Structure 1
Amino acid sequence: MDHDNSLLGTLWRHLEASGFQTAIQQHLPPGTDLQQGFQEFKLLAAKLGLEAYEAEVRGVPLCTAVGDEQNFPTLFRIHVGLRDVFTLEIPKELQGWAEQSMALGASSSDEFQKHLGRMATDSTLAAGERALARFALFELLCASLFFADYAERGQLAAFGVERCDLEALAQKNLTLWLQLPAEQAVEVRPLNIMLAGAMESLMVRGEIIQQQVLTWNVDMVAEAQQRKILERRLQEMNTPDALLIRNAVAGLGLLDEQYVTIETLQEQHSIVLGGTKRNTLDQRFKRIKVSIADGKWPKRKSKAIIDLALPQFPTEDEE
């Protein structure tokens, strides 16, 4: 593993250095083999690389591929799953590790993104490995924009900026970075460069929208305010609760999203909902509806990754 310079090998070494294996091993059943888990993770990465390369060959941008469950199921599942994990309550046994990793992550993050940049532009690499590195950069940029959106507390959604808009912005800046001469690209931290470009575009768009808001009528302003409040409340929920409520609200036509059955919701968000029985989800949804009817919107009871990344926003137990 020490001499494995693949993307997965590098990531595994970063996890080892962060103490992840030690932290999680203490809470797994005796005899659990993390190395076996790593091998399964490598198989998943191979599927991701192949699908990312297929999208590249077919001329399908990643921002489109990650939303195409039928043709790119692995890209779809991982993209959705990563987004879901950011607002998922961290198990208590891993909170200490997560806090320490976030505090120490800046320097290792720089090294990792530079490594990704080299792999994403290395013409000597296998096509699947190179495509996997590009997908990883895309996801890191999407995550950064997700955090920026969260920090706005629903304001972007109120202005009509949807998740697909942020994904398209990530794609645009990834494409621009990949067009740099290879020798120039490897000398910079790619994520920092792409994020700076994306945030600049987002600021310009925000300024344009703010000018348009001046022409809105009372009903449009009220609708935007309601959307902002809804997004803020969804942001504060544990992921399973937020998914159930967001889907229900979409079913009422209050969101520009497609309502799906609970079974489909489980399939689409398999990382956080896949192992839950349908009856359990039904009961959970009923409890949430009763709570909301009483004026008590559910909130996370413990920290999620997003709370560690943006500690200025308190969780329920800190308010």
Structure 2
Amino acid sequence: MDPSITSAVVQALPETGSTMASGVDLAELRDDLEQVALEALDARMRGISLAEAVTDERFANLVAFHSGLRDALLLEIPKELQPWVATIGGDEVSERLPARRGAKGISEAVAAEQIGRLAHLQDDLFVQAQGADPASAGDGPAQLQAALSELLMFESVRLRLLVTAWSSTEFEALGGDDQSIDAIAWAEVEALLAEPALGEGDIRPLPVMVAAGSLALARDAAERVEALRLVSEDERETLRMRARLRAALRELRLPESVLLENALAGLLGEDRMEVTDLQEQRPVALDGLSRQAMDQRVSRGRRALSKSPESWPSRRKPALFDLLRAAEIHE
């Protein structure tokens, strides 16, 4: 695969050799991105939208990538990565990171370089994604670059819409869910990628896509309000209860959140999975835990949820979701 997009993604990460980047195998990351790109391209050539492909078991790497990004939003930010997050997030984010309070920041030159790499990555993704139609993107590496770029634009918009929807219980109380957000994000990204004017002048495509997605999310919510007028109050209360429960679970440490969501699947209107199958499906949350450890976390978590929120297994350090949610509130 031509390394231009994969290299841009890798270069936007913390510097190789720094404590922030320790433990990251960049060659493995490139290989993983290539496998994801191959499946994204395969789906698009079959006429399957990305919103559908990311939950289609025929595209196992794509499904895992999509699920892993969602879980990463709720993962406590490791201390080693907090300086990098503080740099790209600015002063407001930095002050919310416990390891950064009162700490000396990195130099302005390094900060500007990291922010610049991310900005260039956004622009590069858009340019490549505009050629994501397999019939017009060229052969081999060009197709893979375009498919990966299109996917990353979609995931970027989708993650920001998740933050918006998760910042209150309103959307889920109306019957909206993660797959609804996938569909909204893809519809807006696909439409705007076909708009030539979006790449002209000083227009930043990704913020425009996020704004369009936010408007579409609001329209979808309004339509759901009207539709729910036709159902019983009991059904509406069930949706509200499930929304409150999901919101509470998102405030927990990621392993407990995933395990308890599964344990309480009946209340959420879903099917319960065997924890070993769940672990295989959600490695970001559960990798490395023994069956006994997972069972113990479920047992302790159930008891804790019956008490006051102070007793819940909540996050000790902020997750990216916490920082983005706070930033949205202050906008």
Fold conserved (TM > 0.5)? yes
Shift of 1:8: 1.7
Contact map agreement 1:20 1:97 (CA 8 A) in 2:
no
Counterpart position of 2:143: 127
Shift of 1:290: 1.6
* Residues 1:56 and 1:8: Cα distance change in structure 2 (over 3 Å): same
Alignment deviations for residues 70-99 of structure 1 (CA, whole Å, 9 cap, x no partner):
x10110111100100111112233323322
Counterpart position of 2:279: 266
Q: What is the CA–CA distance in structure 2 between the aligned matches of 1:293 and 1:23, rounded to whole Å?
A: 40
1:55 alignment partner, one of 40, 43, 64: 43
Shift of 1:313: 9.7
Structure 2 matches for 1:195-206, cutoff 5 A? 195-206=210-221
Structure 2 matches for 1:1-319, cutoff 5 A? 6-16=4-14, 19=15, 21-24=17-20, 28=22, 37-69=25-57, 71-103=58-90, 108-122=117-131, 123-124=137-138, 126-151=142-167, 153-181=168-196, 184-187=197-200, 188-213=203-228, 217-250=232-265, 252=266, 254-295=267-308, 296-311=311-326
Alignment deviations for residues 268-307 of structure 1 (CA, whole Å, 9 cap, x no partner):
1122212221111111111111212334433111111111
Alignment deviations for residues 5-38 of structure 1 (CA, whole Å, 9 cap, x no partner):
611211222224xx5752325xx5xxx6x5xx11
* Residues 1:14 and 1:21: Cα distance change in structure 2 (over 3 Å): farther
Shift of 1:150: 1.7
Aligned residues: 295
Shift of 1:155: 1.4
Q: What TM-score, normalized to structure 2?
A: 0.81
Alignment-mate amino acid for residue 127 of structure 2? R
Q: What TM-score, normalized to structure 1?
A: 0.84
Contact map agreement 1:266 1:274 (CA 8 A) in 2:
yes
Contact map agreement 1:99 1:308 (CA 8 A) in 2:
no
Shift of 1:255: 1.7
CA RMSD of aligned residues (A): 2.5
Report SS of the residue matched to 1:24.
Answer: coil
* Aligned-residue identity in percent: 28
Q: Runs of at least 4 residues of structure 1 off by over 6 A?
A: none
* Residues 1:90 and 1:61: Cα distance change in structure 2 (over 3 Å): same
Q: Structure 1, unaligned stretches of length 5 or more?
A: 315-319
Shift of 1:200: 1.5
Contact map agreement 2:37 2:145 (CA 8 A) in 1:
yes
Alignment-mate amino acid for residue 90 of structure 1? I
* Residues 1:204 and 1:107: Cα distance change in structure 2 (over 3 Å): farther
Alignment-mate amino acid for residue 73 of structure 1? A
**Which region of structure 1 is more displaced relative to structure 2, 134-143 or 284-293?**
284-293
* Residues 1:121 and 1:218: Cα distance change in structure 2 (over 3 Å): closer
Contact map agreement 2:263 2:298 (CA 8 A) in 1:
no
Contact map agreement 1:158 1:228 (CA 8 A) in 2:
yes
* Residues 1:301 and 1:308: Cα distance change in structure 2 (over 3 Å): same
Alignment-mate amino acid for residue 245 of structure 2? L
Contact map agreement 1:102 1:309 (CA 8 A) in 2:
no
Contact map agreement 1:23 1:97 (CA 8 A) in 2:
no
Q: What is the CA–CA distance in structure 2 between the aligned matches of 1:94 and 1:59, rounded to whole Å?
A: 38
Q: What is the CA–CA distance in structure 1 between the aligned matches of 2:16 and 2:241, rounded to whole Å?
A: 41
Shift of 1:175: 1.6
Report SS of the residue matched to 1:126.
Answer: helix
* Residues 1:311 and 1:202: Cα distance change in structure 2 (over 3 Å): closer
Shift of 1:229: 1.7
